Each structure stands twice: as structure tokens, then as C-alpha cells.
Amino acid sequence: MRTRLKKTLNLLKPLRQGTLGERQVVQNTLPPDLMLLRAWQTDRLTCSYADLLANPRYQPATDFFRYGIYAPQDFSQRDQDLQQIYDAMEGVMPNLVRNTLDKVNELNNLTAVLDQRLIDTLINQLGVTDSITVPLYAQAYRLCDNYAERSYQIDLIMEIGDGVNRLAHIPFINFSLRLARGFTRWSTWAEVQTFFEEGLSAFRHMGDGVDLFLQIIQERERDSLQKMFAGSDDPFGFEEEE
């Protein structure tokens, strides 16, 4: 127990000493074009996973994906803070934490690139101004011609989900977060703290249902991706449900 406590205090040392670097806000809101895309994607996820949202067991985790990753808001500051914390603690954090954060950072960077290319295609090639339709969204996916990157994006989400699930059931990790709460409450790192706590809590809430949850997401997202690149204008099956 003493060894774990010592490691925990080492992890928190940069927070206590204020050595994580200066926090500079990049922007407060997303550009209007990305706001439009992210809002549409959030609505799409709401429709695609309405059954999970209606299930008390899976609702918190589904909301975490909807609002913690794809919400129509600027996450650049949180992502910058996350990177700075990672850089400061890389040498002392457990391998599972480091590997999971590696995947989170990679997903953030990849998603930013893919989303920017997608919205550029929607606006500059398909003439989107203030609304996105499913056929236009699917057509833009095909025009971007990045199936491999989109497939890898799904792989990353699955790997992160598996990592978060494993972290959520390690008492030491949860103890570390509770201990860190006292430092982040009065600091500018509270958003990162909340992000971690909500994610781990959502996965703990699912109990032994995590594998099924991740399987559902993987199957639906891969099915939609394949249908879009096969030429479907209804890759999410919305018209079939009507």
C-alpha cells in the first residue's frame, strides 16, 4: 500500500508543483463549419444508439461518447491540457494508463484531421451551407476516399474502450483520481479530471456488459462505413426504421 501511495503522490507532483506548463486557451468555440458537422454527428449517434440510450445500463457510457468526444463544442483546451499532463507524467504513470492516453491523443488528432477534411468536402464540393443530410454525408465520405483511416478510427475507439474498462476496475486508479480531485478542484485542470471520472464511472456502471456495448458500437460503425463506401445513401438504416 505504501508503494502505491508513493507512486500516486509522484503522479500528482506536477499538479502540486505547478510544473505542467502554462495553460493557454486556443479558442472558446468551434468554427461554425465544424460546429455544424459535430452537431450533426451527435444527432446521428443519438439516432443510431437510441436503444442503448434507453437502457439504464448503457446510457451513461453512450452519453460519454456522444458528449465527451463528439459534442458540438471546442475540446482543444481539454486536449491540450491532457497532452501536457501526459508529457509531465509519462515517466511515472503505469503502462496501461500511458497506453490508453496514447490512444486517446491519437484518436483526437486523427478525428480532427478527418473531420476537417469531411466538412471541407461537404462545403466546397457538395455545396453544404447550413444543413447536412444523410445522403450528402455519405457522399462526402466517399469523396474523401479514406476508408483505411476511418476504419482505423473505429479500431482506436475499440482499443480506448477496452483500456478505459480495464482502468475502471483498478482500485489504485480510482484512488489516484479521488486524490487528484483536491488539487484539480481549484486549478484549470478540472475539465480533464471530470472527463476521466465520467468515463471511468460510465464503464464501471456497465459491469459485465462492456464487451457487448463495444461489440454493438463496432458492428454498427463498421456496417455503416462499408455501406457508405458501397454507395448507400442510407448507411445508418434510418429510412428502414420509418
Q: Who wins on pLDDT, 102 or 227?
A: 227
Contacts of 130 by beta carbon, 8 Å cutoff, 6+ apart: 36
**pLDDT tops 70 at residue 186:** no
Average confidence (pLDDT) over 220-235: 97
**What pLDDT shows up at residue 192?**
64
**pLDDT tops 50 at residue 195:** yes
> 119-128 long-range CB contacts below 8 Å, 24 or more apart?
119/33, 119/34, 119/36, 119/37, 122/37, 123/33, 128/36
Cβ density class 79-113: b for 16+ within 10 Å, e for less: bbbbbbbbebbeeebeeebeebbebbeebbeebee
Tell me the pLDDT of the chain averaged across its residues.
79
pLDDT-derived band at 49 (thresholds 50, 70, 90) equals very high
Percent helix, strand, coil in the chain, to 5, is 75, 0, 25
Average confidence (pLDDT) over 60-89: 72
**What pLDDT shows up at residue 221?**
96
CA angle 111, 70, 41 (to 5 degrees): 95
Nine-digit cell string for 191: 475539465
Q: What is the maximum span of the chain, computed from C-alpha positions, in angstroms?
A: 62
pLDDT-derived band at 91 (thresholds 50, 70, 90) equals low
**pLDDT tops 50 at residue 21:** no
Q: What percent of the chain has pLDDT over 70?
A: 68
**pLDDT tops 60 at residue 183:** no
pLDDT-derived band at 123 (thresholds 50, 70, 90) equals very high
Distance CA 180, CA 8 (A): 9
Q: Who wins on pLDDT, 213 or 24?
A: 213
